């Protein structure tokens, strides 16, 4: 049998801590140590873990595989875990109980698994372990630290809504560095002067490219089935405002990428807007924004760039 090729798929790595709510298990580990944790997981191996912060996002992302062929999925989700295979057994049984089509996993027995992201063609890794995420981003890999609680998912809502901040997430942080050193007026002048020059790509630019490939598959489905409703909706939600908005729009176009909606908020609280938009996941590089958004929205901190330097 030929090797399973990941090259043309959207591949996401997810730690069990992002996919499931492991608060009970983590408490055992912190209070009683590793051996008690292992015993706890073995004792509860058939107790299905409840959904975590990224569960709704992952479930909906995997549902898009019905746009492809059964043996040629568009999306591949792979577990990247610090658990050893024995304690990871509860995670895999919980995946089966929730009927998630996830069959591949890497278990590292206490070691960070992010080093395998490139080998597995991953354009995103999600974890509740902030140290693992920071190590991955420091190595130039696209990773995010999930924050907040699980999303009260509506099974009758077929959409997948993804929202991104722009600077430090889809784009690099050069403009943020200008803002940090020179303030808002200098930032606006710099972005206006360079409006026609695309930004360097940020850590999640390639992930958006993978999402756009799926959206193009949806466009193809609509051509043959005009009644097909689009299920993927992508927005940028950024503190930029006019005139700095233009460079963001032009950068996306010159990268060959698209979004369905754009919110140029100019300092308005993102949390209030996201509460209405209701994305299944939101990515931002600034913890100050995420303190607000994570109260109602599954949120992800991307610890990239100047704003996250010690």
Query: pLDDT digit string (tens) for 214-224?
Result: 999 999 999 99
User: What does the pLDDT read at residue 84?
Assistant: 82
- Report domain 10-147's class: alpha beta
Instruction: Tell me whether domains 10-147 and 160-308 share a fold.
Output: yes
**3-state class (DSSP) for residue 25:** helix
Beta strands in the chain (DSSP E): 10-14, 75-81, 104-107, 122-127, 143-147, 160-164, 232-238, 261-264, 281-284, 299-301
Q: Is the model's pLDDT at 152 over the cut of 80?
A: no
Query: pLDDT digit string (tens) for 237-295?
Result: 999 989 989 999 999 999 999 999 999 999 899 999 999 999 999 999 999 999 999 99
Q: Is the model's pLDDT at 70 over the cut of 90?
A: no
CA distance 141 to 126: 11
User: What does the pLDDT read at residue 186?
Assistant: 87
Domain extent listing, the chain: 10-147, 160-308
Cβ pair 17, 128 in contact under 8 A = yes
- The number of angstroms, rounded, from the C-alpha of 12 to the middle of its chain's C-alpha atoms is 8
Query: pLDDT digit string (tens) for 72-110?
Result: 999 999 999 988 888 889 999 999 999 999 999 999 887
Query: pLDDT digit string (tens) for 295-306?
Result: 999 999 999 998
Mean pLDDT across 17-33? 82
Sign of CA pseudo-dihedral 34, 37, 42, 45? negative
- Report domain 160-308's class: alpha beta
Nearest to 212 by CA among 257, 267, 279, 167: 257
Is cis: bond before 282, omega within 30 of 0? Answer: no
Residue 26 — very low, low, confident or very high, per pLDDT cuts 50/70/90? Answer: confident
Q: What is the mean pLDDT of the chain?
A: 92
Q: Is the model's pLDDT at 2 over the cut of 80?
A: no
User: What does the pLDDT read at residue 260?
Assistant: 97
Q: Is the model's pLDDT at 37 over the cut of 80?
A: no
Residue 167 CB contacts under 8 Å (≥ 6 apart), including other chains: 173, 175, 176, 199, 202, 238, 240, 285, 305
């Amino acid at each position: 049998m030929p090797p399973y090729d990941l090259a043309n798929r959207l591949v996401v790595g997810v730690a069990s801590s992002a996919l499931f709510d492991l608060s009970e298990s983590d408490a055992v580990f912190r209070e009683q140590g590793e051996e008690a944790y292992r015993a706890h997981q073995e004792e509860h191996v058939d107790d299905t873990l409840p959904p975590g912060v990224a569960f709704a996002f992952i479930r909906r992302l995997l549902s898009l595989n019905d746009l492809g062929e059964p043996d040629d999925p568009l999306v591949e989700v792979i577990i990247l875990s610090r658990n050893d295979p024995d304690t990871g057994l509860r995670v895999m049984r919980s995946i089966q109980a929730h009927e998630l089509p996830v069959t591949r996993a890497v278990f590292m027995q206490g070691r960070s698994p992010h080093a395998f992201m490139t080998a597995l063609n991953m354009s995103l890794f999600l974890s509740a372990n902030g140290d693992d995420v920071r190590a991955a981003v420091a190595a130039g890999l696209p990773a995010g630290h999930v924050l907040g609680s699980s999303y009260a998912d509506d099974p009758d809502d077929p959409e997948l809504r993804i929202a991104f901040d722009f600077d430090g997430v889809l784009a690099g942080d050069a403009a943020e560095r200008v803002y940090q050193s020179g303030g808002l007026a200098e930032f606006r002048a710099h972005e206006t002067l360079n409006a026609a020059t695309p930004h360097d790509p940020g850590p999640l630019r390639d992930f958006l490219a993978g999402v756009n490939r799926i959206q193009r598959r949806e466009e193809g489905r609509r051509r043959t089935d005009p009644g097909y409703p689009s299920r993927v909706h992508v927005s940028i939600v950024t503190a930029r405002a006019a005139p700095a908005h233009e460079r963001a729009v032009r950068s996306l176009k010159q990268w060959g990428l698209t979004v369905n909606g754009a919110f140029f908020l100019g300092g308005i609280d993102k949390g209030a807007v996201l509460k209405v938009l209701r994305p299944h996941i939101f990515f931002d590089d600034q913890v100050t924004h995420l303190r607000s958004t994570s109260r109602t929205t599954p949120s992800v901190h991307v610890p990239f760039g100047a704003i996250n330097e010690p």
